[in-house]
Amino acid sequence: MNDSCIEVRNVTKRYSRFALEEITLNVKQGYITGLVGANGAGKSSLIKLLMGMSLPLAGEVRLFGEPLAKKEAELKERIGYVADDSHFYEHLSIHAMKSIYAPFYRKWDDRLFRRYLDRFGLSPKALIRSLSKGMKMKLALAFALSHQAELLIMDEPTAGLDPVFRRELLDILAELMLDERHTILFSTHITTDLDRVADYIAFLHQGRLVFHQSKEEIFDRYAVVRAENSLLDADVRRSFVGIRETPVGFEALTSDREEAERLFSGFARIERATLEDIMFFTAKGVPVHG
């Protein structure tokens, strides 16, 4: 049985100054996958492809085992989508916006929507233009969660949110995952969010997928090596993903922790890499590594 909720097969999408090149990605059902990458890495572009808003130049997107291009409407009914910005009608009230949104979904649950509004402190009478960015994000989340979506796709949902609501949002995602039918894909460049809730991490860099692995696999595989500069020769340099040198020594990211331990044991400190380390050194080092 296919356990992938999202299958991206060799998808290429080119813009005038940027391209997503041959992305292949399988997002597993029942898990939270974090899509991480620096600004401009292609996270939003990939999400727009998954939502059918952008059309790929080559390749195919499949959701729930079905091709998105052929069954767009049926498949999107099973998706809750939170955009990186509010695209609701600003001059309408939350109630009026709901009367637009709800009829599109057969499984719309009005009681659940009201519960989320209460929980987020949103009044149905409030005009959308009067809401702060954080409140608009909460509203988008309330809409996305109120039609029994099986897949939640969120584009930078935590960007611009205060730390309290960011934690609350992550708690909500964790709550959703108690029901194993749900799958969540969310993009972010705030790596601490992923440390808290993500099961899998997909890392995009300059339009290419660098890796897509479970968090445990990533932390087993990557390590930061800190040592004196005298240890650096051409072969050693080549073995690192990226290096930062200072007058007193260097720190470098390796994608083969075991090999690094074998080579440098006793000469260097080898520590667990954070997602931020991986993002930083990848951006500084070679464009893509295996």
E strands in 228-277: 242-246, 249-254, 269-272
Q: Which residues bind other proteins (CB under 8 A)?
A: 48, 51-55, 72-77, 79, 81, 83, 85, 87-92, 96, 99-101, 103-105
Helix (H) and strand (E) counts for the chain?
11, 14
Pairing mode of beta strands 269-272, 223-227: antiparallel
Nearer Cβ to other proteins (87/262): 87
Q: Are strands 200-205 and 32-36 parallel, antiparallel or unpaired?
A: parallel
C-beta closer to other proteins: residue 127 or 283 = 127
Residues in the chain: 290
**Smallest gap from residue 90 Cβ to other proteins (A):** 6
Question: Which residue number, 32 or 128, has a Cβ lying nearer to other proteins?
Answer: 128
Neighbours of 216 (CB within 10 A): 10
Smallest gap from Cβ 89 to other proteins, in A, equals: 5
Q: How far is the CB of 255 from other proteins (least distance, A)?
A: 34
Q: How far is the CB of 79 from other proteins (least distance, A)?
A: 8
DSSP letter at 73? H
Judged by CB, which is closer to other proteins: 127, or 227?
127
| Distance of closest approach, residue 83 Cβ to other proteins, in angstroms | 6
Phi, psi of 202, deg, nearest 5 = -110, 125
Please name the residues in contact with 155: beta carbons below 8 A apart, sequence gap of 6 or more: 43, 44, 47, 82, 83, 84, 186, 187
Cβ nearer to other proteins, comparing 76 with 205: 76
Distance in angstroms (rounded) separating the CA atoms of residues 187 and 206: 15
Q: How far apart are CA 253 and CA 270, in angstroms?
A: 10
CB nearer other proteins, residue 125 or residue 238: 125
Rounded least distance, CB 71 to other proteins, Å: 9
What is the dihedral sign for C-alpha 132, 49, 287, 184? Answer: positive
